[in-house]
Structure 1
Amino acid sequence: MGSIRYEVRVEGVVQGVGFRPFVHSLATRLGLAGHVRNDVHGVFIEIEGAADAAEHFLCSLRYEAPPLAVIEKIAVESIEPVSDDEFRIVGSTSAGSRATLVSADSATCADCLREMFDPADRRFGYAFTNCTNCGPRFTVVRDIPYDRPLTTMSAFDMCARCAAEYHDPGDRRFHAQPVCCPECGPRLRLVDAAGATLPGDPIAEAAAALGRGEILSVKGLGGYHLAVDATDQDASSALRKRKHREDKPFAVMVRDLAQARELCAVNEVEAALLASRRRPIVLLDMLPGSRIAPAVAPGNRQLGLMLPYTPLHHLLLRDAPGPLVLTSGNVSDEPIAYRDDEALHRLAGIADGFLTHDRPIHMRTDDSVVRSFRGRGMLVRRSRGYAPEPVALPREFPRPVLACGAELKNTFSVAKNRHVFVSHHIGDLENYETLRSFTTGIEHFTRLFDVEPAVVAHDLHPEYLSTKYAVDLDDVDLVGVQHHHAHIASCLADNGADGPVLGVAFDGLGYGTDGTIWGGEFLRADLVDFQRLAHLEPVPLPGGTTAIKQPWRTAVAYLSGRYGDDLPTGLDLLRRNETWPEVAAVARQRAHSPLTSSAGRLFDAVAAILGVRDAINYEGQAAIELEQLADRDERGGYPASVSTGNVLRAQGADLVAAVVDDLRSGTPGPVIAARFHTGIAAMIHDVCVRLRERTGLAEVALSGGVFQNMLLLHRVVARLESSGFRVLVHSRVPPNDGGVSLGQAAIAGARDRGARR
């Protein structure tokens, strides 16, 4: 039987992951001839040989692919044989419209670690060891195709031995673009706060400095971190003071899973998340008597742990005195520093020294944060290790889309074909540096994925900087998307669904279509439109944004709304805040106290009444600490009535009154906090049951930052499922505003499809 020849196109995350070497090895093993190359679409292959060998090749292509590869599509076409006599890797092409997917940065693999810690290996102790199965990707890519000249490794010429590995089809580093060694690759330096290089081995001297209680800035994959010994209270307190970060917990890097289990309870799912190639920060329950300094996570029963994900981290943790605080290298509210001169300038007042190197970072990328929920991860912040891998949707976008996201926890998204490329975490668009990160990120993504937006989606809030950016663009069709509709659409897209569903969007705030501040919403929603079916009863925010930063003001609004001028006596809240009568008066003035249905503000009010938090130092702090306070074993709950009408109104004030009654009767705070959470879950269930009777919908999508609360999420999902609802929750993007851009993109695409039919 004669030879056959196939043209094979493979699309997905197939560049920078060792796919061409894998194809070469597979084809050679099966006696096939032909060639493989990268191009703007992915990987292009031609194979020629015996029919059974060719069929074996096509089957193995998907099921034996390299560990970092994500194959989305394999297209095969039969063509005329040309009598090749060998299989070759040929040069990449860059012509045509780009459709290549770029791999996320990946943690150091086991093979590279073995080399690094083998005294006989030429890469022993080398902080930039990598191969086709691990190492920097997104943060060093400047353009595609993914080849060394288009990465930040272009300045490092390979030595003869690295070049031999790079060109050897049988080597693990065959066509590994960041390949290097101590002879030809990047080099470490330890410098002081003025930028002067310090003598000695940089790793050993850095570890010694940490042991002395100094604060170091350490250059990672996507930016600079600030590090201290996590068991050193003085050093942790000094870092907190210098960084102007009063209460928000620091992340901690531990040497391995064994050390993680010394500090926190770690189940199988959490262990798998910690050790995954993505290496996110995983939020875990801290064990009693943990040796972590109290200043690392003050008043918090949880700790964010991560494992080393670069060779530098592994080497530093080997010599360091203990677990290390590794927090973003910035002053509070600024984006992470990633350029060397910028880091030295911005962090000189914080860090005593800098453990740095000369491999540039092209795109700043924070660490990702994840929690486990029902056997899988739920992202809280999607960034390093995940971005820029796309979310694939069931239907194609008729025209390319840019979705600008929200104001807080901003991400943007670009979309074309079936892919939505959700950006790395940008942060809160409150200052010039973050806005610049937002705009340069959009420029990079649109170039990298060859997207020229024809449709631009944005939030309805006219004062969001992301909205202003959108409306200033020329020659695009603008699509305004209501904030909570975007949340529910994000959850639908996350689950590959179209709706309609009953959407429960609980968060801090979002601009409503009626001009008020929404945040406790029950919607009938699909990817095109929504209808507001129910919401929390609105309450005034005394002083507007001031009340967001001072939850006790919202508590006074709830109390005065419930009790009028006759507020309950004996509340510590009122004794702590003697100006409450003036605040109650302001609450009655609509000009200074906008109405809000926000669920987040209801959590704030209860936290203040229980004495958890009168003022916050970071977004969501009061609600987070209220969840921390709650007694997990308490199953009681408070009732909340629901007003009837065309639009149902759930009475959050009922829950506040029940909290006050229990508090005045001497019920412990942890019990009250748990009963409040159960009351919220029961109220959500009650409203959804009523809305199912009206609409016939039995599928519920839960989104918004409030559903990062694991205690609430577990209790809501359990109640809904017990009543026959199918419940959709987030996994691939966060439920908070970090997922809003995905929802905006999905809505813009769906509306564009409808308009073009």
Structure 2
Amino acid sequence: MPRLEEQGACRWLITGRVQGVGFRPFIYRLARELGLNGFVRNRSGTVEVVTEGDASCIDAFAAAVQQQAPSLALPTIVSRKKIPAGFHTDFRILASSVGDTDIHVSPDYAVCARCFEEMQDLSNRRYRYPFINCTECGPRYSLIKAMPYDRAQTTMSEFTLCAACRAEYANPNDRRFHAEPLACAACGPELWFSEPGRIAVHGNETALAKAVAQLRAGLIIAVKGVGGYHLMVDARNERAVARLRIRKHRPHKPLAVMFPLADNLIALHGAVIADQLALSALSATDRPVVLLPKRPQSSLADCIAPGLSQLGAMLPYSPLHQLLLQDVGGALVTTSANISGEPVVTEPREAETLLANVADGFLHHNRSILRPIDDSVVQPCAKTIRAIRIGRGLTPLELKLPRPIAFPILATGAHLKNTLALAWGNRVVISPHIGDLDSRRSQAVFARTAAQLQRLYDVRAEAVICDAHDGYASTRWAKGCGLALQPVGHHQAHASALVGECPEVTGNWLVFAWDGVGLGSDGTLWGGEALLGGPGQWRREGSFRPFRLAGGDRAGREPWRSAAALCWTAGFDWNASPMAKEAWQKGLNCHETSSAGRLFDAAAAMIGLMDMASFEGKAPMWLEAIADPDIPALPLPLYRDAERVWRTDWAPLIPFLMDGRQSPAARAGLFQASMALALVKQALRIRAEHGEITIGLAGGVFQNRLLVEQALGLLDEWGFTVRLNEQVPCNDAGISFGQVIEALYGDF
């Protein structure tokens, strides 16, 4: 027996990702193994632990919490205090308490390997159960009503545990000990299948079989997943995929493909080129869509990603999806069930109404989804994984601020690819992808997310940060919410979003913020800027030769307008209607811009790839896909304007881009290489004047993998240190985070 003076007791507060990840059961088992008495319980966002026993065992407990925590947990011990001993005779899990506001919410996780094995085991009572989960996997964010994270605070409260599940829930040695979404076929959610004009079919196997039969027959099925509905169709059936495009009014935008896990991913490897980095991303707990190079010959329908060199590939993240793929026997096109750009649909009645003219059948389930959450999209680039869209599995995305913020703020983001960000203390939480805010439905989801985010984290914003553009729906909402308001420049937010991801970098930054368009501080439309300094103190040092762009917002979908504007500005001809040129000459509905994104649009039109684009980003995506990476760059002139901004003149590119004697691949390659070289020339000039700088590449143009890798190669040759966005998208989805960082360092 240890001597009395060797006995001790401690009270611990542990924060971070510690709820919804099996952390309390882990603490319970650890304490029992070490012979410690006491308790563990959830507070609103913190885990409170009391340990009593041998002092050396208490020290061992502290080390094990950090070193042996469940794989999904990210614990931080924020407090360890000695307390009087002698009050506890065993170790227990106590009921949760409320009142703590240090809340951390777990994202939705993909089905784990052990649950997958059980689902395939004929002798297991969860054999082929579409909603199998445990403390190491399954839904979290999409079904949490409020914290602390207990079953009663989730949509699973609608389902009463059967005796067998109740025994697992109460057994400390069971993997499902206190697994809040716990269920089985006897007591949990179930499937049903409906189709127009027919009686709905209920029951997991019956409904699943009906969906599989229709998918095999080339029909389109809307499937309710973890965060909303997908539209699914046989990825090998050209006519079925073409029919989906027609019904969804999506003629060219690429579609994602979900591949089965069978035979060591043979279907995946037959369609895309996936190295170890890509395979790690595909099989991570967030199971994102990963953009990968297409193989030239595959069994997939050609119209899945027409004109592109990459394919969005994903692996099944839910048991239901795995069963579908397994029974169909092949890959399935898996695209969000929504109107393009809007949030994903979540409710059965809503799905059947909105998708009545799209889907042939509906595979529903009765586990409620509290908030829509789309699939995440990532891209391997420059030996790392970069987020393109943050959604299921990655959000809510929690980041640590470089320093505490004075009071809670809500950042409302951009108009396209919208996300929200809530910041308080030294923390910021970024919402899942909401989408484009053009429709009433998108704006309603935006407003609901703003309210839910504050309610879920028990934080009330005292001020709101928005984009400087008054025409954005996010800005209009911010102005109408009644809080103190601070507008932030669009490109300053892009730059600060990157800086906020890299708090370890000190000194001056030079961030190239290249995108479509955003309102600049001089009232013109920026989009190809080199910003020097840091958050709250950016100064424009570089840009492109400005040009007048006709057509307003239409220019993003009509690349010929950008091409015509460049040609007319530089004194070249462009075959457009006399009325269009006259309107441009008179400056009717024209805006001066320095947009790099519109230069890519113009290049695509000049090469002859397209005059019209059916979706935003189509022109630069096709340009990248055909570009010959071995074509050398054309050095472009660099001059200084009256405001002492270095500007690259794009005009010498025009004769080369319009030279029909050269192949489209060669002309696209020359344009890509010339843009990368132009960036480096600006960086060299600015470094020569201002000394050592860290280079950042921010904005949606830098989703272009070829451009990024060419620029990185050149910058490395000249000795620059370069940083890219990784966790936070470089596109407009990162604007909300950048607005927070701007507010943190600005005069607000």
Query: What is the DSSP-based 3-state SS (H/G/I as helix, E as strand, rest coil) of the residue aligned with 1:265?
Result: coil
Q: Does 1:56 find its partner at 2:64?
A: no
Paired with 2:86 and 2:442, the residues of 1 have a C-alpha distance of 55
The answer as to whether partners of 1:607 and 1:626 remain within 8 angstroms in 2 is yes
Out of 635, 639, 644, which is 1:639 matched to?
635
Paired with 2:139 and 2:408, the residues of 1 have a C-alpha distance of 28
TM-score (norm 2): 0.96
Q: Does 1:436 find its partner at 2:444?
A: yes
2:331 corresponding residue in structure 1: 323
Query: What is the DSSP-based 3-state SS (H/G/I as helix, E as strand, rest coil) of the residue aligned with 2:404?
Result: strand
Paired with 1:116 and 1:146, the residues of 2 have a C-alpha distance of 26
Q: Report the CA distance between 1:443 and its aligned residue.
A: 0.8
Paired with 2:513 and 2:223, the residues of 1 have a C-alpha distance of 39
The answer as to whether partners of 2:38 and 2:90 remain within 8 angstroms in 1 is yes
The answer as to whether partners of 1:488 and 1:525 remain within 8 angstroms in 2 is no
1:731 corresponding residue in structure 2: 726
Paired with 2:685 and 2:257, the residues of 1 have a C-alpha distance of 45
Q: Report the CA distance between 1:581 and its aligned residue.
A: 4.2
Q: Does 1:108 find its partner at 2:103?
A: no
1:482 corresponding residue in structure 2: 489
TM-aligned CA distance change 1:195 to 1:92, over 3 Å: farther
Paired with 1:193 and 1:111, the residues of 2 have a C-alpha distance of 38
Query: What is the DSSP-based 3-state SS (H/G/I as helix, E as strand, rest coil) of the residue aligned with 1:541?
Result: strand
TM-aligned CA distance change 1:195 to 1:430, over 3 Å: farther
TM-aligned CA distance change 1:526 to 1:116, over 3 Å: same
Paired with 1:94 and 1:435, the residues of 2 have a C-alpha distance of 32
Paired with 1:376 and 1:394, the residues of 2 have a C-alpha distance of 23
Q: Report the CA distance between 1:204 and its aligned residue.
A: 1.9
Q: Which moved more, 1:394-403 or 1:19-28?
A: 394-403
Residues 29-52 of structure 1, C-alpha deviations (whole Å, 9 max, x = no match): 011111100102311111111111
1:34 corresponding residue in structure 2: 38
1:187 corresponding residue in structure 2: 190
Out of 493, 500, 503, which is 2:500 matched to?
493
Paired with 1:405 and 1:684, the residues of 2 have a C-alpha distance of 27
Q: Which moved more, 1:518-527 or 1:361-370?
A: 518-527
Q: Map residues 713-728 of structure 1 onto 2, 5 A cutoff.
A: 713-728=708-723
Residues 499-519 of structure 1, C-alpha deviations (whole Å, 9 max, x = no match): 631111000000011111110
Q: Report the CA distance between 1:413 and its aligned residue.
A: 0.5
In the alignment, residue 484 of structure 2 is paired with which amino acid?
D
TM-aligned CA distance change 1:321 to 1:444, over 3 Å: same
2:128 corresponding residue in structure 1: 125
Out of 159, 177, 181, which is 2:180 matched to?
177
Q: Report the CA distance between 1:194 and its aligned residue.
A: 5.0
Q: Map residues 261-660 of structure 1 onto 2, 5 A cutoff.
A: 261-474=269-482, 476-496=483-503, 497=505, 500-564=508-572, 567=573, 578-632=575-629, 634-645=630-641, 646-660=644-658
Paired with 1:334 and 1:194, the residues of 2 have a C-alpha distance of 28
The answer as to whether partners of 1:16 and 1:137 remain within 8 angstroms in 2 is yes
TM-aligned CA distance change 1:194 to 1:448, over 3 Å: farther
Query: What is the DSSP-based 3-state SS (H/G/I as helix, E as strand, rest coil) of the residue aligned with 1:532?
Result: strand
Paired with 2:383 and 2:706, the residues of 1 have a C-alpha distance of 15
1:23 corresponding residue in structure 2: 27
Paired with 1:49 and 1:195, the residues of 2 have a C-alpha distance of 65
Paired with 1:713 and 1:193, the residues of 2 have a C-alpha distance of 48
The answer as to whether partners of 1:492 and 1:499 remain within 8 angstroms in 2 is no
Q: Identity across aligned pairs (percent)?
A: 39
1:69 corresponding residue in structure 2: 73
The answer as to whether partners of 2:639 and 2:648 remain within 8 angstroms in 1 is yes
In the alignment, residue 618 of structure 1 is paired with which amino acid?
F
The answer as to whether partners of 2:65 and 2:75 remain within 8 angstroms in 1 is no
Q: Which moved more, 1:522-531 or 1:58-67?
A: 522-531
Q: Does 1:88 find its partner at 2:83?
A: no
What is the count of residue pairs matched by the alignment?
Answer: 736
The answer as to whether partners of 1:285 and 1:303 remain within 8 angstroms in 2 is yes
2:744 corresponding residue in structure 1: 749
Q: Does 1:78 find its partner at 2:73?
A: no
Paired with 2:105 and 2:640, the residues of 1 have a C-alpha distance of 51
RMSD over equivalenced CA pairs, Å: 1.4
Query: What is the DSSP-based 3-state SS (H/G/I as helix, E as strand, rest coil) of the residue aligned with 2:215?
Result: helix
Out of 665, 687, 699, which is 1:692 matched to?
687
In the alignment, residue 635 of structure 2 is paired with which amino acid?
P
Structure 1: give runs of 5+ residues left out of the alignment: 568-573
Paired with 1:194 and 1:492, the residues of 2 have a C-alpha distance of 55
Q: Does 1:202 find its partner at 2:200?
A: no
Q: Report the CA distance between 1:84 and its aligned residue.
A: 1.6
Q: Report the CA distance between 1:371 and its aligned residue.
A: 0.3
Query: What is the DSSP-based 3-state SS (H/G/I as helix, E as strand, rest coil) of the residue aligned with 1:524?
Result: strand
Paired with 2:689 and 2:581, the residues of 1 have a C-alpha distance of 38
Query: What is the DSSP-based 3-state SS (H/G/I as helix, E as strand, rest coil) of the residue aligned with 1:396?
Result: coil
In the alignment, residue 647 of structure 1 is paired with which amino acid?
V
Paired with 1:406 and 1:355, the residues of 2 have a C-alpha distance of 34
Q: Map residues 243-258 of structure 1 onto 2, 5 A cutoff.
A: 243-256=248-261, 257-258=265-266
Q: Does 1:45 find its partner at 2:49?
A: yes
The answer as to whether partners of 1:243 and 1:331 remain within 8 angstroms in 2 is yes
Out of 161, 164, 170, which is 2:164 matched to?
161
The answer as to whether partners of 2:308 and 2:621 remain within 8 angstroms in 1 is no
Q: Which moved more, 1:640-649 or 1:122-131?
A: 640-649
Query: What is the DSSP-based 3-state SS (H/G/I as helix, E as strand, rest coil) of the residue aligned with 1:653?
Result: coil
1:571 corresponding residue in structure 2: none
Structure 2: give runs of 5+ residues left out of the alignment: none
Paired with 1:334 and 1:440, the residues of 2 have a C-alpha distance of 14
Residues 204-241 of structure 1, C-alpha deviations (whole Å, 9 max, x = no match): 22111101011100001100000000000111011111
Q: Report the CA distance between 1:682 and its aligned residue.
A: 0.5
Out of 227, 233, 236, which is 1:231 matched to?
236
Q: Report the CA distance between 1:728 and its aligned residue.
A: 1.2
Paired with 2:80 and 2:740, the residues of 1 have a C-alpha distance of 31
In the alignment, residue 612 of structure 1 is paired with which amino acid?
L
The answer as to whether partners of 1:698 and 1:724 remain within 8 angstroms in 2 is no
Paired with 2:196 and 2:304, the residues of 1 have a C-alpha distance of 23
Q: Does 1:712 find its partner at 2:719?
A: no
Q: Report the CA distance between 1:317 and its aligned residue.
A: 0.7
Q: Report the CA distance between 1:588 and its aligned residue.
A: 2.1
Q: Report the CA distance between 1:392 and its aligned residue.
A: 1.4
Query: What is the DSSP-based 3-state SS (H/G/I as helix, E as strand, rest coil) of the residue aligned with 1:128?
Result: coil
Query: What is the DSSP-based 3-state SS (H/G/I as helix, E as strand, rest coil) of the residue aligned with 1:105?
Result: coil
Paired with 2:266 and 2:419, the residues of 1 have a C-alpha distance of 34
Q: Report the CA distance between 1:480 and its aligned residue.
A: 0.9
Query: What is the DSSP-based 3-state SS (H/G/I as helix, E as strand, rest coil) of the residue aligned with 1:673?
Result: helix
Paired with 1:227 and 1:447, the residues of 2 have a C-alpha distance of 34
Paired with 1:580 and 1:100, the residues of 2 have a C-alpha distance of 59
In the alignment, residue 727 of structure 1 is paired with which amino acid?
V
Q: Which moved more, 1:594-603 or 1:643-652?
A: 643-652
Q: Report the CA distance between 1:425 and its aligned residue.
A: 0.4
In the alignment, residue 251 of structure 1 is paired with which amino acid?
A
Q: Report the CA distance between 1:73 and its aligned residue.
A: 4.3
